[in-house]
Amino acid sequence: MADPFYISSPDSVVLKPFSREYVPIKKLVEEGTLDAEIVRMFLPIFKSALEENPNAKLVYDTTTGERRFIDEGMRLVPFTQTAVCGVISEDGGKLFYRDRPIDEVANWDPMKTASLLITGDVSEKTVRLITNTVANYMELPPQLYRHIFESDVRISEPMAVMRTAVSLLGNFSDHINLNRYNLLDKGHRWELANKLIGVGLDISAKMPTISASLLNIWEVKNMDRTKRLEEILDKITRPDPTNDYITNILSMYFKDEAKIDEFHEILKIYVNLHMSHGFNASTFTTTEIASTHSTLFAAMSAATGALQGPLHGGASKEVMEQWKRIKDYELGGLTDENVITDKIDTYVRNVLASGHSVFGEGHGKLKKGDKRATILEPMALAMIEKYGDKVYATIGKRIEYICREEKGLYPNVDFWSSPLLYHMGFKPDFNTVNFTIARSFGWLGAYIEQMFRNSVLIRPDGYFVSDNGKIR
């Protein structure tokens, strides 16, 4: 049976991009041609944007011939305040978790980092409480193992299973209706905040177990589709509340004790670097849903869906896939270093010229570099040297060089985290899942902040354009 056509024509109005004129802010500021109302409201913000990105542009909708300002993607005009995480592009890119620079936080115990983002408190008592809560919440309810087992290994994507599993957790929670409490009562707000943090930690704690169980169950089903769930669960490693957080994750993925010890410090840094990053797409999703006073299960499953997208966390998978294509199809066993370099350079230039993505290069906020990538690069190169084909190091360095020299692009966190995870033994399909595991603690911090400090419904506006092009 042929697929039905709901849009009758390829020239349908619903497929036509809106008519827009991209105008450099710098030019408008210099010429003084900004509309008076825009100048009054936004000029200080535009000037600040120019300091971070001299090429920043306004968008004017020109459908009817009149100019109307649109902050496309809400990139220029801040919509709220936050004390959880700050991203500043100057001086090579700065990232703060509350007031702590990422360089300091990178080597912390991840539970201390989580405590900082969620509560703002890194006292021994609070960190120990969060550590114990997460350790005791990592095991899954039987229904979640069943959900993973029944997912079709041939067509399901790990992030899709993770997203649905997080949503399903709400069906097994005693706290699903916590948000119905009166948020205006000050004493009750404190009690409710602590209960919600417990719910959020329950979700975050279970994410590594969902991921590892997915990998382990699917691997068994690939070999023998007659195996029952109970037989599989008897043979896979389950979380142990006496282990620390990182050891639990690695133990569920790897059987080799030597690798668990070797990778402990690496995964600790990886988790810390991925916990938060300003109002990225998934954190904004969390904040938007929190503003409606919906549940953490709704917010974190939606955030997982946002992170899944290739323009967000999905790039973590695509980086290594692109490098593998270069190695297998562009280089094809070549050994001459000069020829290899020329082939890689040509490939990258062609991708850039075509307007397609070089995955892991460039960032919407960090135009002059990403400190997280700088921290991860030597770790990734060491893993490639020890466990991989050394041509991957050449591929990474040449991509980095060509993108910077020809387009002014710098590696973002995905560029080096992707090969790092790959050479540790993680499949590329699970890169974004690992990203989700770490970022979930930042989502919880954003949710709590929106619920209790900002507490206003987020409702962006947009111009309505009639089919005849009239704006009203």
Query: Nearest-5° angle of CA 18, CA 318, CA 336?
Result: 120
Encoding tokens for residue 139?
Answer: 């095991």
Among 74, 96, 120, the domain-final residue is 74
pLDDT at 26: 66
Residues 304 and 322 in one domain: no
CB neighbourhood size of 314 (10 A): 19
DSSP characters for 240-255?
-TTS-HHHHHHHHH--
* Segments in the chain below pLDDT 50: none
Rounded to whole angstroms, the Cα distance separating 356 from 315 reads 13
Residues 218 and 284 in one domain: yes
Sign of the C-alpha dihedral computed for residues 459, 463, 467 and 471 taken in this order: positive
DSSP 16: S
3-state SS string over 405-432?
A: HHHCCCECHHHHHHHHHHHHCCCHHHHH
Here the CATH number for the domain that contains residue 294 is 1.10.580.10
pLDDT at 369: 82
Residues 285 and 216 in one domain: yes
Rounded to whole angstroms, the Cα distance separating 267 from 245 reads 10
Packed helices 110-119 and 257-274: angle between N→C axes, nearest 10 degrees: 20
Structural domains counted in the chain: 3
pLDDT at 468: 65
Q: What is the pTM of this model?
A: 0.89
Residue 90 domain-assigned (yes or no): no
Cα 244 to chain centroid, rounded: 24
Residue 2 domain-assigned (yes or no): no
pLDDT at 442: 97
Tokens 């095991």, residue located: 139
Residues 134 and 253 in one domain: yes
Rounded to whole angstroms, the Cα distance separating 436 from 271 reads 10
CA nearest neighbour of 435 among 208, 240, 261: 208
Residue 333 domain-assigned (yes or no): yes
Rounded to whole angstroms, the Cα distance separating 446 from 336 reads 50
Rounded to whole angstroms, the Cα distance separating 409 from 411 reads 7
Which residues, in sequence order, are bridge partners of residue 61?
A: 20
Residues 357 and 297 in one domain: no
Rounded to whole angstroms, the Cα distance separating 441 from 275 reads 6
Asked if residues 394 and 340 have their Cβ atoms less than 8 Å apart, the reply is yes
Rounded to whole angstroms, the Cα distance separating 243 from 239 reads 8
Residues 253 and 169 in one domain: yes
If residue 50 lies in a helix (H) or strand (E), which one and from where to where? helix 36-52
Residues 197 and 346 in one domain: no
3-state SS string over 312-349?
A: CCCHHHHHHHHHHHHHHHHHCCCCCHHHHHHHHHHHHH
pLDDT at 455: 78
**AA letter at 65:** G
Residues 144 and 290 in one domain: yes
Residues 354 and 436 in one domain: no
The dihedrals phi and psi of 370, each to the nearest 5 degrees, come to -120, 115
Residue 359 domain-assigned (yes or no): yes
CB neighbourhood size of 141 (10 A): 14
Rounded to whole angstroms, the Cα distance separating 162 from 437 reads 10
Residue 96 domain-assigned (yes or no): no
Sign of the C-alpha dihedral computed for residues 328, 333, 338 and 342 taken in this order: negative
Here the CATH number for the domain that contains residue 363 is 1.10.230.10
pLDDT at 194: 86
pLDDT at 303: 97
Query: Nearest-5° angle of CA 285, CA 288, CA 290?
Result: 105
Residues 439 and 419 in one domain: no
Residues 142 and 224 in one domain: yes
Residue 304 domain-assigned (yes or no): yes
Encoding tokens for residue 90?
Answer: 């100057």
Range of the domain at 362: 315-424
Residue 466 domain-assigned (yes or no): no
Rounded to whole angstroms, the Cα distance separating 166 from 443 reads 13
Rounded to whole angstroms, the Cα distance separating 25 from 272 reads 36
Rounded to whole angstroms, the Cα distance separating 144 from 163 reads 12
Rounded to whole angstroms, the Cα distance separating 399 from 392 reads 11
Residue 350 domain-assigned (yes or no): yes
Residues 390 and 249 in one domain: no
pLDDT at 221: 75
Encoding tokens for residue 24?
Answer: 């450099």
DSSP characters for 116-159?
HHHHS---HHHHHHHHHHHHHH-SPPHHHHHHHHHS-TTT--HH
Rounded to whole angstroms, the Cα distance separating 267 from 289 reads 30
What pLDDT digit, counting tens, does each position of 106-135 carry?
999 999 999 999 999 999 999 999 999 999
